[in-house]
Amino acid sequence: MATVKAVRGTRDLLPPETELWNRIEATARQVFARYHFGEIRTPIFEDTGLFARSVGEETDIVSKEMYTWDDPPKPKGAIAYPPSMILGGRGVQSLTLRPENTAGVVRAYIEHKLGESGQLQKLYYIGPQFRRERPQKGRYRQFWQIGAEVIGPPSAGSESPLRDAEVLEMLATLLDELGIMGWTLELNSVGSAADRERYNDVLRAALAEVAPKMCADCQRRAVTNPLRVLDCKVPEDQPIIDALPKITDSFDQESKDHFAAVTAALDAAGVAYKLNPRLVRGLDYYTRTTFEFTHGGLGAQNALLGGGRYDGLSEAIGGPKAPGIGFAMGLDRLVLTLQATKADQKSAVRPALDAYIAPLGETLNAAALVLARELRRAGLSIELGDGSFRLKKSFEAADKVARRIVILGEDELRSGILTVKDFSSGVQSKVPRAELASFLAQ
């Protein structure tokens, strides 16, 4: 029989590693609460058109990495849907597993008219995303993101550079509280849509001369999407790219002022950053501030998180004017980074349970379940053994997972006095059942 295996690029997360995942999520939720964010949960699949219109038709994500299917499927062998299926009122739809969550959050913002409250919406999410990328360390086809979006009508202050600075300051705090050391905040601005159009023209003109000396990808991008040239990693192309005109030189005064206010607020808050004029990011919806937090321990996939401002996204998908800024961090990459530090390998070890209950004989199994129920209800962590085990096997099993073993035999059941052995001190005690919970809690 062929062995069953998880699909390429996907994986199982098992205990005790999942404890670290939960700890990261719990810390993130605490930090979000302190900054007045509430949780949003959106579906893991959406209409394909949503991603085409938000992330952008020409991006790698939309053009080659999405898991997309027709719903309902076309009849076997058919190239097109028969008119009866389209016109019958049932509707056929192209659906896609979400490659990211910003599009879904903005779709929900529009659908539920969240802007009508006049308030800034501060929403966070934790969940899986799907991209058909070539799997490697830190890059998976199903991966997890912890992300957040701050979005609202301009009257709520959604365009303010203070929002950008607050999000970045929160991220610096979150990474510190998670115990992630040595991160770098790389910061840039891609300007307004008009700035970008101007820059695209400048770049296209500059590239017309140098592109023939560059890699095949760059030659193609120089024509289709010149901004993407700045993402090129081919070593020979780097000096050419560094000499290209900078995006900031195409900004109008408003964009310049906005970015200057973001950096001034970060300086005041003491959040260190590195300006990276080439940070244009791989999604089309960005305007103005863009950023990534990188970490040297991650190798080629060095981005712990990425994000930026998207002032035109809501309108691009049919909503009201609703500027916003957000980010998403790769949970898989946070875990990898923390596992690489010794302190966290230790804390990932399963903490010992309060007690292991060993019934002496199968006739005592039900009584042991009752005792376990009592103790667990009192808030203790308990593993329940089995009366079919020999005492030696129970002790070995208990020693692996718990701080103490509680022996439940006929005598103990009758007298109500239980035998407890503490593994670290080796001391054996007789404890009345009524006092057992408080004894084990020490």
| Least distance from ligand HAM to the Cβ atom of residue 196, Å | 16
Which residue's Cβ has the minimum distance to ligand HAM?
330
Q: How far is CA 128 from the centre of its chain?
A: 7
| Least distance from ligand HAM to the Cβ atom of residue 312, Å | 13
Q: Which CB atom, from 157 or from 282, has the smaller least distance to ligand HAM?
A: 282
| Least distance from ligand HAM to the Cβ atom of residue 327, Å | 5
Binding site for ligand HAM (CB under 6 A): 100, 102, 131, 133, 138-140, 143, 145, 147, 149, 283, 303-308, 326-330, 332-333
Q: Which CB atom, from 140 or from 395, has the smaller least distance to ligand HAM?
A: 140
Beta bridge partners of 272: none
Q: Which CB atom, from 279 or from 355, has the smaller least distance to ligand HAM?
A: 279
| Least distance from ligand HAM to the Cβ atom of residue 252, Å | 23
| Least distance from ligand HAM to the Cβ atom of residue 173, Å | 18
Contact 313, 153 (CB under 8 A): no
Q: Which CB atom, from 139 or from 220, has the smaller least distance to ligand HAM?
A: 139
Distance, CA of 304 to CA of 297 (rounded, Å): 10
| Least distance from ligand HAM to the Cβ atom of residue 63, Å | 14
**Which pairs with CB-CB distance under 8 Å and at least 24 residues apart come from 409-413?**
409/359, 409/360, 409/361, 409/364, 410/360, 410/361, 410/364, 413/364, 413/367
Q: Which CB atom, from 142 or from 200, has the smaller least distance to ligand HAM?
A: 142
Q: Which CB atom, from 185 or from 413, has the smaller least distance to ligand HAM?
A: 185
**Which pairs with CB-CB distance under 8 Å and at least 24 residues apart come from 28-37?**
28/124, 28/126, 28/146, 28/174, 28/178, 29/124, 29/126, 31/170, 31/173, 31/174, 31/177, 32/124, 32/148, 35/122, 35/166, 35/170, 36/122, 37/122, 37/123, 37/124, 37/148
Distance, CA of 100 to CA of 45 (rounded, Å): 10
Full DSSP string of 75-137:
PTT-SS--HHHHHTSS--EEEEE-S-SHHHHHHHHHHTTGGGG-SPEEEEEEEEEE--PPPBT
Question: Both tokens of residue 342?
Answer: 């010794």
| Least distance from ligand HAM to the Cβ atom of residue 139, Å | 4
């937090």: which residue's tokens? 293
Q: How many CB atoms lie within 10 A of CB 409?
A: 18
Contact 46, 103 (CB under 8 A): yes
Q: Which CB atom, from 247 or from 283, has the smaller least distance to ligand HAM?
A: 283
| Least distance from ligand HAM to the Cβ atom of residue 67, Å | 12
Q: Which CB atom, from 161 or from 306, has the smaller least distance to ligand HAM?
A: 306
